Amino acid sequence: MKVLVTAKLPDEAVRKLILAGCDVDGHGEVRPMNREELLARVEGAEGLLCTITDRIDREVFDKAPGLRVAANYGVGFDHIDVAEAGRRGILVTNTPDVLTDATADLAFALILAVARRVVEGDRRTRSGQFRFWAPLHFLGTEVSGKTLGIVGFGRIGKAVARRARGFDMQVLYTARKPLEKREEERLGVRFAPLEELLAQSDFVSLHVPLTPQTRHLIGARELSLMKPSAFLINTARGPVVDEKALVETLRGGGIRGAGLDVYENEPELTPGLADLQNVVLLPHVGSATVETRTRMAEMAVENLLEGLAGRRPPHCLNWEEVKGKR
């Protein structure tokens, strides 16, 4: 039973696959597998353990007619053609929950970093420009007590809201369907349509998946609705934001700053973005803690092995559709 693992994973995860009888073709390097390597090595695979850097589409499925399970190492699955996999009877799985806290922590790290100019301050201090303390020197924006707008109120959005309570923030959220009033009260949040949320928030944090409906959800018009003193935080997916419009808005002072973990054409940055002082730019590390990446590997392996054994994987995106075809 050939299994292609497209990324270097913790040793323990690969060992588990081998102990379960899989013939593992593992990618031994930290850099992602490129397209040519993926297409060549997926041939003959029954199982695939892949990541966000692999585009899993018809071409991949055509190369591996025996493929039965595509186990994604991550929660977002916009890089996988789940509909096509379903038509071919291929199970697709992901790793929700285990990365929620790490990603919510990072969203909060970006909120604090942009508001208090943490990275800019570090740059100044290292370059010898910390020469004095003064009442009006290097002022940032207060986070405590401000309004946070959360766009996409799922697992990570709710985890960000929990953290905001510790900062006495008012939390607005937008979702396709508002929560029950009682649930809103329990969480200390209030529903607001996107336009109202954008206009009222001091920090707007994005937590929607990338879908045809959320691509460029935040464009020039939406950015123009934000307060000039507000910050945009994106730890969701780059294409949710029109990055060119964001650069123009930041240049023109339309909003005060942005904290980004993800980019529209990753790993490329839109020209001009890296020249701005009022942005903090991270290299897509939302889930990148030792603890979380270890749990993600365990979950992806469990999903893969359960699917290969013909059982319902714990986190399967298309079980109902595929189960009849197997």
Residues lying near ligand NAP in the complex (CB under 6 A) are found at 75-76, 96, 99-100, 103, 152-157, 174-177, 207-211, 213-214, 235-237, 261-262, 284, 286-287
Closest to ligand NAP by CB, 157 or 313: 157
Distance of alpha carbon 24 from alpha carbon 250, whole angstroms: 47
Closest to ligand NAP by CB, 49 or 75: 75
Given CA atoms 299, 302, 308, 309 in this order, what sign does their dihedral have?
Answer: negative
Angle between helices 290-308 and 11-19 (to 10 degrees): 20
Shortest distance (Å) from residue 236 CB to ligand NAP: 5
Kind plus residue range of the DSSP H or E element containing 291: helix 290-308
79 catalytic residue (yes or no): no
Closest to ligand NAP by CB, 42 or 103: 103
Q: Distance between terminal CA atoms of the chain?
A: 17
266 catalytic residue (yes or no): yes
Of 264, 197, 246, which Cα lies nearest the Cα of 225?
197
Six token digits for residue 8: 């270097």
Of residues 68, 237, 293, 315, which has the active-site annotation?
237
Residue 54 CA to its chain's centroid (Å)? 15
Give yes or no for a contact between 206 and 234, defined as CB atoms under 8 angstroms apart.
yes
Of residues 266, 295, 298, 312, which has the active-site annotation?
266
Give yes or no for a contact between 153 and 177, defined as CB atoms under 8 angstroms apart.
no
Distance of alpha carbon 83 from alpha carbon 63, whole angstroms: 17
Shortest distance (Å) from residue 326 CB to ligand NAP: 26
Closest to ligand NAP by CB, 7 or 210: 210
Of 298, 267, 268, which Cα lies nearest the Cα of 284?
267
Q: Which residue is nearest to ligand NAP (CB)?
A: 154
Mark residue 17 as left, alpha or beta (left: phi above 0; alpha: psi -120 to 50; beta: remaining).
Answer: alpha
Closest to ligand NAP by CB, 103 or 303: 103
The amino acid sitting at 35 is R
Shortest distance (Å) from residue 207 CB to ligand NAP: 5
Shortest distance (Å) from residue 31 CB to ligand NAP: 18
237 catalytic residue (yes or no): yes
Shortest distance (Å) from residue 286 CB to ligand NAP: 2
Kind plus residue range of the DSSP H or E element containing 5: strand 2-5
The upper half-sphere exposure of residue 70, i.e. CA atoms within 13 Å in the direction of its Cβ, equals 31
Shortest distance (Å) from residue 243 CB to ligand NAP: 15
Closest to ligand NAP by CB, 17 or 260: 260
* Residues marked as catalytic: 237, 266, 284
